[in-house]
Amino acid sequence: MIHSTSFLAVALLALQATAANVTTPENGGDGQGKKSTRPNIVFIMTDDQDKLMDSTDYQPLLKKYIGEQGIEFHKHFCTVSLCCPSRVSLLTGKAAHNTNVTDVRSPYGGYPKFVAEGHNENYLPVWLQQAGYNTYYTGKLMNMHGVRTYNNPFPAGWNRSDYLLDPGTYRYLNSYMSLDEQEYRSMAGTYSTDNIRDRAVEFLGNGIDAGEPFFLGVAPIGPHGQGTPQGFDHPIPADRHKDLFPDLQVPRTANFNPDAAGDVHYLASAPKLAPHQVEYLDEYYRRRIQALQSVDELVEALMLKLEQHPDVLANTYLFYTSDNGYHLGQHRLPPGKCTSMEDDINVPLFVRGPGIARNASISIPTSHTDLTPTFFQIAGIDLRDDFDGVPMPLTVEQQQQQSKTVKGEHINVEYWGNAYLEGTVFPHDPATARNTYKALRVVADNYDFMYTVWCTNERMLYDMKQDPYQMNNLYGTSGNATGYPVDQLEARLDTLLLTLKNCKGEVCRQPWSFVFPPSSGQGIQTLADAMDPKYDEFFRSQEPVSFLDCVKGYLLEYEGSFAPQPFVNAKGEAVLEARMEDWV
């Protein structure tokens, strides 16, 4: 996305950055405290919720309270299709290659890695508290935040908290939780999402009563699979929902268990699913939708609390999203989420709040790295130079301002290590251990592409306008894609991906400006600009994106080509103005 100073703040521009040191009551209360002038933020994040299998169509309360009262972002993406690294990127505004939290477990991921990399002192709640916000969180924080690690150290930056803890995080009826830095406790016999709902309503009351601006994070595990000794199985719905939707099936889209396998890496060797496996996937899908009903009720409970305080509701932004997407049988794959395919990276995002149009939708591409910059914009906090993302245009005014500038059109997606496959009726494929890749989504009014380079150096290119189910890999073919010669398109996308794969800060936000610096006089700001045939030789001369091996973490010595060569002026002089530290 293009970083622009034309975004207008929706909060007050002047605020004094002071550390929050507010004592909050122990229960919900009546919310009669003094009125805050800066907006509040309620952020709801589900776990492994899909967008493309229509899960939100079965959430009427989400639609009623947020969708119909706000805006849906149709092209919102996670930048890592895996829980822990996705959440850390979201909470820091940085790509995973800059957080260096790239997995769900040690040595490359998990809560201990988050702490070791210094993020516990430098992430969203800490920054919000420094700006005078009260902060609250309940639910899942990240993987490996468990009964042995939750207090070593405690997560910083929260006025009050009640976390789900491993090994009980994914047990719907037998979880562990830790309230306000107290000793963890067993929640055996109670339903996890209902526990999160009740605590979220309590914390919301705390925030209202304190009369200061607040941020509330709510992270139920639904519809994530149930943890079992054999691995992840389908989720467990609340008993009151277990008989709903008895005939529901995974949508039979063109990419569901197709007759022809893919042509790249383990997608090419995936066998056609057997009838008993398809039946299992349908059951898995039904259980996911059933598990989301309690999440839907959570949304309503928060809204009913806010509706008791109209002035607070009028000054509160509500966000609803998922940490990553999910697939069930698409491209013949068992349950999981770790690919660069659209099912795994395109996630729900609904937002309502002051100045946001009702029952609206937008297709400007945005990502999880944009959420913390967006929260900063709402709170009136100056953006950090090291943000890899930019604020999203939430309000009509912001969208009008952005329409006068060049739209940001790129999303950087990356992954390292295993593809964690789920379900209990599928054989293990050793090839899924080599799931490292770099990928790119480019979305504009007139074109829409997905480009992936695997650690095996195999490549995929999909024209998403013509092939939304990603059935026809165009890489290496002749002909055109949305009017562009495929070979010329490949060269541009590869250079753009090479720019983004190790980028930092402004390079991530404005990659074309570092391939074609302003002093070059070329004015290249979009893929369409770069497609001019006069640049063919320049792009052909670039080193391709490549990997030296399939490794489990972000290790520069295996990342292959580092960055593109800049465009040179007519005198043959390099005019790139970036520094090496803009990439590393």
322 has a pLDDT exceeding 70? yes
pLDDT value, residue 483: 87
**pTM for the predicted model, two decimal places:** 0.92
578 has a pLDDT exceeding 50? no
How much of the chain, in percent, has pLDDT values that exceed 90? 85
CB contact at 8 A, 428 and 421:
yes
3-state secondary structure of 219: strand
Closest CA to 468 of 244, 248, 254, 258: 254
* Residue 539 φ then ψ, to 5°: -70, -35
Q: What is the DSSP string of 62-74?
A: HIIIIITTSEEET
Contacts of 240 (CB under 8 A, 6+ apart): none
pLDDT digits (tens, 9 = 90+) for 425-481: 999 999 999 999 999 999 999 999 999 999 999 999 999 999 999 999 999 999 888
pLDDT digits (tens, 9 = 90+) for 297-321: 999 999 999 999 999 999 999 999 9
β-pairing, 185-186 vs 176-179, is: antiparallel
574 has a pLDDT exceeding 70? no
How sure is the predictor about 403, in pLDDT bands with cuts at 50, 70 and 90? low
pLDDT value, residue 408: 83
What architecture is domain 40-403?
A: 3-Layer(aba) Sandwich (3.40)
218 has a pLDDT exceeding 60? yes
Sorted by where each begins, the domain ranges of the chain are 40-403, 445-582
pLDDT value, residue 32: 42
- For 37-170, list the strands marked E by DSSP: 40-46, 71-73, 76-77, 134-139, 160-165
How sure is the predictor about 30, in pLDDT bands with cuts at 50, 70 and 90? very low
pLDDT digits (tens, 9 = 90+) for 241-284: 999 999 999 999 999 999 999 999 999 999 999 999 999 999 99
